[in-house]
A and B are shown apart, each in its own frame.
Chain A
Amino acid sequence: MNNQEEFNKDLLKKYLNPEKIEMAPEDFTEKVMMKVRVETEKSKPVIKSGTKYFVPVFSVLITLILIAAAFLSPSESNDPILGHSLKFLEYINNQALKIRIDFLSGIDLPGWITYFFIGILFFALFDKVLHEVFQREK
């Protein structure tokens, strides 16, 4: 770099320096922050408060009813409601067995297979509930 270029550089430095910068408008920060807040609001996941806990609460309720029923039901109950409920469950159980036998007639399956399939169904429901809960919290 020759002397002339050095001189030119210094000469411009006299006129162009940080003191002479164009200042941003006064409300600049407010405008940016408004955009930032809109951006932040947009990125928040929309959760329907009423339905957020519906699935887990429903699931827990059903489980509690079943547990309570298992504890409270005597072997031979005189309670009409409980008696009918037990009869209904027995009926479902019989129907399920019948269906299984109809579908798989001629195949000798062990007795525990019914409970195995019911277990899978329960696990599927449990998995679905967990999925719903953790999916919403992401």
Chain B
Amino acid sequence: MDYKGDKHYIDLVLAGNTNAFSFIVDRHKDKAYNLAFRICANREEAEEIAQDSFLKAFRSLKGFKMKSSFATWLYRIVYNSAISHVRIRKRGILFIEDFPADFIDFTGSNISEEESEKEFVNSIINFALQKISSEERSLISLYYYEELNIEEISEITGMSKSNIKVKLFRARQRMLEEIEKVEKKKLIYHE
């Protein structure tokens, strides 16, 4: 079924059709979950945060004035929930079971060379993501995974545009440093 746009379903929900909210959830669940996961770095917690964010959005739907897109508004809720969750938890590091923590040799398994290369790239990206703070991860996630521009990220996070640029720059640098380190390890491992 074709998605008829957020506004259509929001109007239906506001008119009393609660079930119309499921179309909105279906549409935005992956990106909302991904953002929560990138910030808090735990699948169970990310699911809980994303679900609660949708519930908060449902409760506040009457107050949503359509000044920004629904996605931006939702990401702001997810971002604030996840960041405050991490602050309460006081844990910036990621769970090892969620992200492979170090270089893993995938060549021994029964997958193709191309697949193993993809898995390897994913593992080093995840490893690099471990090395940056939850705030930096959220910016990286919004910029790369959600493909939002600096202005939209500023709207979601409440940070100034210049601050976001600086933080993104530092996050990139640190991630690439970590990727380089793993690449060197890989070379040594194969030698």
A residues with a Cβ closer than 8 A to B are 5, 8-9, 11-13, 15-18, 20-25, 28-29, 31-33, 35-37, 39-40
Contact = CB atoms under 8 A, between A and B. Distances in A.
A31 B32 CA distance: 15
Interface in B13-52: 18-19, 21-22, 25-26, 29-34, 37-38, 43, 46-47, 50-51
Contact of A12 (B19, B22, B31, B172): B172
A25 B45 CA distance: 12
Interface stretch (B63-71, B105-113, B143-151): B143-151
Interface size of B as a range: 35 or more
A49 to B, nearest CB: 21
Contacts of A18: 31, 145-147
Interface stretch (B4-12, B53-61, B82-90, B152-160): B53-61
Contacts, number: 88
Give the interface SS of chain A, mostly helix, strand, loop or mixed.
helix
Contacts of B176: 8, 11-12
Given A24-B30, A28-B25, A28-B47, A36 B18 contact: yes
Nearest to A31: B51
Interface string B100-118: 0000000000000000000
B34 A22 contact: yes
Contacts of B26: 29
A35 B55 CA distance: 7
A28 B33 contact: yes
B51 A21 contact: no
Contacts of B147: 17-18
B30 A20 contact: no
Contacts of B164: none
Contacts of B38: 22
A96 to B, nearest CB: 52
A128 B147 CA distance: 60
Given A16-B144, A33-B22, A36-B21, 4 more contacts: A13-B144, A18-B145, A24-B33, A32-B51
Contacts of A39: 55, 58-59
Given A23-B33, A35-B51, A36-B55, A8 B172 contact: yes
Given A12-B144, A16-B145, A40 B25 contact: no
3 nearest interchain CB pairs? Answer: A16-B144, A24-B33, A21-B34
Nearest to B21: A36
B38 to A, nearest CB: 8
A118 to B, nearest CB: 45
